[in-house]
Structure 1
Amino acid sequence: MTDPDGGAALADGDAPDLPRDLDAARDALIDWYEADHRDFPWRRTDDPYEILISEVMSQQTQLDRVVPAWEDFLEEWSTTADLAAADRGDVVAFWSNHSLGYNNRAKYLHEAAGQIEEAYGGAFPESPDELQELMGVGPYTANAVASFAFDNGDAVVDTNVKRVLHRAFATPDDDAAFERVASHVMPPGESRVWNNAIMELGGVACGKTPRCDEAGCPWREWCHAYQTGDFTAPDVPTQPSFEGSRRQFRGRVVRTLGEYDELTLDELGPRIRVDYAPNGEHGREWLRGLVSDLADDGLVAVDETGDDAPSVRLRA
């Protein structure tokens, strides 16, 4: 079932804060990802074998530790034919020596390589359903390989993506809802860049402790959590005490003023909060309160000469 945007249709209550201009949100995320992202070597290839190795290795190992193991593995067995011909004991020993988690994964990879050589003539199947026929390849890994190797996958839904969708669009903590919303927001036919981008967002900007402004999250202007200050998520049962707090914004005011001699409230506001609007909920009166607190603490000086838009500077 699809909708006019090309994704899966949503059920009532799936994404109450989904932006009306979904294309703008899509473009913002892709632009953010393409401008700057973590440069893992498997992101520079569309070889399905190399991508499968990275996906299996990443299941229980931090990505910065996966990089050297992935490079060593491919130096040892650079193709499925090489891996299929290898002694299984050598493959398992490699896995164990590199602390890559359950050794069964090494056995499954070895067997999958044999399947590809014998049943598929050395050519990888390309769809998620076909990829699941390989030994040890479940729905998530199959979809990841289909997406990143063939641009032929569905929306990836892992813990990071669930956290993003819950915070950004108020998606309820329900697996079926996450699947529908993830499919709905992914641009049709762009699974490679989209799944990389939304996973990057969850890993870099929208972690358990969010780094919205520090990482330049491209969804701040649409994000339910950013607007409300409620950063709870399925894997974050309690709201971080600092993120979204007055204390955080006070710190941003001080840091921002450290870069400028003096700013009016309306010049300062957008620099500390992307949704600042002079007459909005987080507008001039809200900012006056922050500045007043800082002035009482002796940290800033306020010039009230301009009644509508007083100026603020750090106190010497």
Structure 2
Amino acid sequence: MSESDGDADGDRAWTLPDDLEAIREALIAWYEADHRDYPWRRTDDPYEILVSEVMSQQTQLDRVVDAWEQFLERWPTTADLAAADRADVVGFWTSHSLGYNNRAKYLHEAAQQVEGEYSGEFPETPTALQELMGVGPYTANAVASFAFNNGDAVVDTNVKRVCYRAFDVPDDDAAFEDAANELMPDDRSRVWNNAIMELGGVACTQTPRCDEVGCPWREWCGAYASGDFTAPDVPTQPSFEGSRRQFRGRVVGTLREYDELELDTLGHRIRVDYVPDGEYGREWLEGLLADLEDDGLVTVEDGDGERVARLKR
């Protein structure tokens, strides 16, 4: 493990692996081999990217696609949007259920700024982009990264979850920012930020899909090694009804994915607050498995020094 070059006192409580280059190459190769094909990932036009970022703030990405395409068909450039009637822009926003209407107003004003103050050319750095109306640090950095390959590391909820689980970065905004920037290779913010957000959005989700989607960081990931997938945005004790039925279903679903698992590994994968000796631990899990055995769905057998659960074939 190695500490950041900027941590001269050597007192940082967390570290990243020594082989950062291998980590970077693995993630970029995974992303470039296969990723969700959103249309704004196929452009470096800062206006088109800004529209996608503003629309995505309150709307699921799959729903944004149609709205984004229709918006750009109606107002294909900043000049077109700047000349539009603001009521029409807000009306479009409302009719497509894109969240707070003030975002539409700010986007319209930002287009007018680009045309009136920047001669139709977008500023290219995160700091300069924040001069545009309604553009905060996150959006400015995203546009700088995806349009100009000139951003810092993006630190959203997905990236925080990845850093927390994979490298044990503490739940602290400054620590997440340090880790994300240290992980990012120089001069590659466009592909890197897309890739690490894709990792959090597809593989390192609240319920992780590590093996299912071939997470490229499994060999370095602390959560994958321990089976403990706790994260800042993952509740330690979700509220639900019929909890026993819910976790019976999780057991069956997990064993379908992994075929067989040692009991403690299974416990961690179906419940983030699983502790072998705790309230929701080995005894609780064995009770679920006993019920499933009675139903003819699973078997539990002794393995090499550990009991193993598997689906009954």
Q: Name 2:305's counterpart in structure 1.
A: none
Asked whether the 8 Å contact 1:8–1:183 carries over to 2, the reply is no
1:162 aligns to 2:160 (yes or no)? yes
Could you tell me how far apart the structure 2 residues matched to 1:8 and 1:231 are?
29
Q: Name 1:15's counterpart in structure 2.
A: 14
Q: CA deviation digits over 1:117-170, x for unaligned, max 9?
A: 011000000000000000000000000000000000000001110000000000
Could you tell me how far apart the structure 1 residues matched to 2:156 and 2:207 are?
17
Could you tell me how far apart the structure 2 residues matched to 1:84 and 1:95 are?
16
Q: TM-score of the superposition, structure 2-length normalised?
A: 0.76
Asked whether the 8 Å contact 2:163–2:176 carries over to 1, the reply is yes
Q: CA deviation digits over 1:252-307, x for unaligned, max 9?
A: 56489xxxxxxxxxxxxxxxxxxxxxxxxxxxxxxxxxxxx9xxx7989x9xxxxx
Q: 1:248 deviation in Å?
A: 7.5
1:120–1:253: structure 2 CA closer, same or farther, 3 Å change rule? closer
Alignment of 1:233-252 (within 5 A): 233-238=231-236, 251=256
Could you tell me how far apart the structure 2 residues matched to 1:116 and 1:87 are?
17
Asked whether the 8 Å contact 1:14–1:181 carries over to 2, the reply is no
Percent of residue pairs bearing the same amino acid type: 71
Q: Name 2:30's counterpart in structure 1.
A: 32
1:174 aligns to 2:158 (yes or no)? no
Alignment of 1:91-240 (within 5 A): 91-238=89-236
Q: CA deviation digits over 1:18-50, x for unaligned, max 9?
A: 222110011000000000000000000000000
Q: 1:237 deviation in Å?
A: 2.8
Number of corresponding residues: 262
Asked whether the 8 Å contact 1:8–1:181 carries over to 2, the reply is no
1:66 aligns to 2:52 (yes or no)? no
Q: 1:15 deviation in Å?
A: 3.3
Asked whether the 8 Å contact 2:164–2:170 carries over to 1, the reply is yes
Asked whether the 8 Å contact 1:51–1:149 carries over to 2, the reply is yes
3-state secondary structure, aligned to 2:160: helix
Could you tell me how far apart the structure 2 residues matched to 1:184 and 1:78 are?
37
Asked whether the 8 Å contact 1:8–1:184 carries over to 2, the reply is no
Q: 1:246 deviation in Å?
A: 9.0
Could you tell me how far apart the structure 2 residues matched to 1:158 and 1:14 are?
22
3-state secondary structure, aligned to 1:130: helix
Could you tell me how far apart the structure 1 residues matched to 2:195 and 2:120 are?
30
3-state secondary structure, aligned to 2:115: helix
Q: 1:14 deviation in Å?
A: 5.1
Could you tell me how far apart the structure 1 residues matched to 2:131 and 2:5 are?
25
Q: 1:315 deviation in Å?
A: 9.1
Asked whether the 8 Å contact 1:147–1:153 carries over to 2, the reply is yes
Asked whether the 8 Å contact 2:106–2:133 carries over to 1, the reply is yes
Q: Name 1:290's counterpart in structure 2.
A: none
Q: CA deviation digits over 1:57-81, x for unaligned, max 9?
A: 0000000110000000000000000
1:108–1:8: structure 2 CA closer, same or farther, 3 Å change rule? farther
Could you tell me how far apart the structure 2 residues matched to 1:254 and 1:58 are?
37
Q: 1:251 deviation in Å?
A: 4.4
The structure, 1 or 2, with the larger RCO (C-alpha pairs under 8 Å, 6+ apart) is: 1
1:253–1:130: structure 2 CA closer, same or farther, 3 Å change rule? closer
Asked whether the 8 Å contact 2:212–2:257 carries over to 1, the reply is no
Could you tell me how far apart the structure 1 residues matched to 2:110 and 2:131 are?
9
Moved more, 229-238 or 134-143: 229-238
Could you tell me how far apart the structure 2 residues matched to 1:146 and 1:99 are?
27
Letter in 2 for 1:208: Q
Could you tell me how far apart the structure 1 residues matched to 2:110 and 2:12 are?
41
Q: CA RMSD in A?
A: 3.0
Q: Which ranges of structure 2 fall in alignment gaps of 5 or more residues? A: 239-245, 262-288, 302-310
3-state secondary structure, aligned to 2:94: helix
Q: Which ranges of structure 1 fall in alignment gaps of 5 or more residues? A: 257-292, 303-313
